[in-house]
Chain A
């Protein structure tokens, strides 16, 4: 147990491990030990991944995800469960990323895109991942967010509308625009990459 606590990988009560998100949120609001850790263990990776895809920096992504979980923890007693927990969390992550990017006015060059910490990877996979990352970075933050919520996190149109507080029709049209934009940028970057190699 002590080792698990030290490494941050302790397991929680079996009852909590099988509970759905809504039950965990209630348990968390009641301050039941382990409830928040269970939510953390379920959404740690999706939150960090979404932030990474939005920000392009794994360390900053963790900072954003950490801040999002802190906000979740502080606001959970007031969470009324009108949207799914995941939708709420993704909205917080997305808003934090959009805010940070607005402040930083990030312009990311291909060389500047930092790779995720990874073990030995096939170079082609890494190159494709970099091109994808650059294509995402070249998109406007709003279109990037909508694309990631759908194609990275698999949210439904209704959930995206809730997360970004947009009308359903706007989600549909912006997602179409986002995919076309990504497709065009990705195609262009791939052609450049092939020309260089």
Chain B
């Protein structure tokens, strides 16, 4: 068996996933092959490298809050109460329905008839001539 074929088994061997017979054969090869031993060490170091690459990653302090808002949790002092996902569209539909009902009610109950026709604009009162008595508002008695 060539080194290439052994190399393909190194990953499974590293994870203890290689069947016993093949693992024994590989171990025998590793004793005499420095190249494959080096490969095995290198593969074993990958997990460390990968974990180190993200070890300094910091999650934003408001991450949880953003998630909770996104899923519809709302804060009640002391505990969190979930707003079911179907409630929001239901609420919107109810608001829309109310608006429609309001519009219909307004349409049918709006005042109609001649007394509600737009009144003509009030006649412009000509300015009084100099010396003429000032116009007096009609009193109850005049009617």
- A residues apposed to B, CB below 8 Å: 1-2, 5, 7-9, 31, 33-34, 36-37, 40-41, 44-45, 48-49, 52-53, 58, 61-62, 65-66, 69-70, 73-74, 116-119, 121, 125, 128-129, 132-133, 136, 147-148, 150-152, 157, 172-173, 175-176, 179-180, 182-183, 186-187
Q: Are A116 and B71 in contact (CB under 8 A)?
A: no
Cα–Cα distance between A5 and B82 once the two chains are bound (Å): 15
Query: CA of A33 to CA of B79 in the docked complex: distance in angstroms?
Result: 7
Judge whether A33 and B81 touch: CB under 8 Å: yes
Q: Tell whether, in the assembled complex, residue A74 and residue B54 are in contact, meaning their CB atoms are under 8 Å apart.
A: no
Residues A133 and B53 in contact, CB atoms below 8 Å apart: yes
Given A8-B61, A41-B64, A148-B50, is A34 in contact with B11 using a C-beta cutoff of 8 Å? no
Inter-chain contacts of A150 with B (CB < 8 A): 15, 47
> In the complex the two chains form, what is the Cα distance from A118 to B54 in whole Å?
10
| Given A119-B56, A180-B43, 8 other A-B residues pairs in contact with their CB atoms under 8 A | A7-B62, A33-B81, A40-B64, A61-B57, A118-B57, A129-B53, A129-B56, A176-B10
11 contacts between A and B (CB under 8 A): A5-B75, A33-B81, A34-B79, A52-B57, A66-B63, A69-B71, A116-B57, A129-B56, A132-B50, A147-B50, A175-B15
Report the separation of the CA atoms of residues A80 and B96 in the bound assembly, to the nearest whole angstrom: 37
A66 touching B66, Cβ below 8 Å: yes
- Contacts A5-B75, A147-B46; A37 near B57 (Cβ below 8 A): no
Which chain B positions have C-beta within 8 A of A2? 77
Q: Which residue of A lies closest to B57 (CB)?
A: A116
- Nearest-CB residue, chain B, relative to A178: B11
Q: Which of A8, A45, A61, A147 contacts B62 (CB 8 A)?
A: A8
Asked whether A172 and B17 contact (CB < 8 A) given A34-B79, A125-B52, the answer is yes
Binding site for A on B (CB under 8 A): 7-12, 15, 17, 39, 42-43, 46-47, 49-54, 56-68, 70-71, 73, 75, 77-82, 85
Contact of A116 with B56 at beta-carbon distance under 8 Å, contacts A7-B61, A147-B50 already known = yes
Q: Total number of A-B contacts with CB less than 8 angstroms? A: 133
- CA gap between A62 and B11 in the complex, in Å: 31
Please give, as numbers and ranges, the residues of chain A lying within 8 Å of B85 by CB-CB distance: 74
Q: Of residues A7, A33, A52, A173, which shows the largest number of chain B Cβ atoms within 10 Å of its Cβ?
A: A33
Contacts of A31 in B (CB 8 A): 82
In the complex, which residues of chain B have a beta carbon less than 8 angstroms from the beta carbon of A182? 46
Q: How far is the CA of A5 from the CA of B76 in the complex (A)?
A: 10
Known: A74-B71, A151-B47, A183-B43. Contact between A118 and B64, CB under 8 A? Answer: no
- In Å, the complex CA distance between A70 and B71 comes to 6
Question: Nearest Cβ in chain B — how far from A126, in angstroms?
Answer: 8
Q: With a CB–CB cut-off of 8 A, which chain A residues contact B54?
A: 49, 52-53, 116, 129, 152
Bound CA–CA A104/B65 (angstroms):
28
> What residue in chain B is nearest A125 (Cβ atoms)?
B52
Contact between A176 and B8, CB atoms less than 8 A apart: yes
Q: Which B residues touch A136, using CB under 8 A?
A: 50, 53
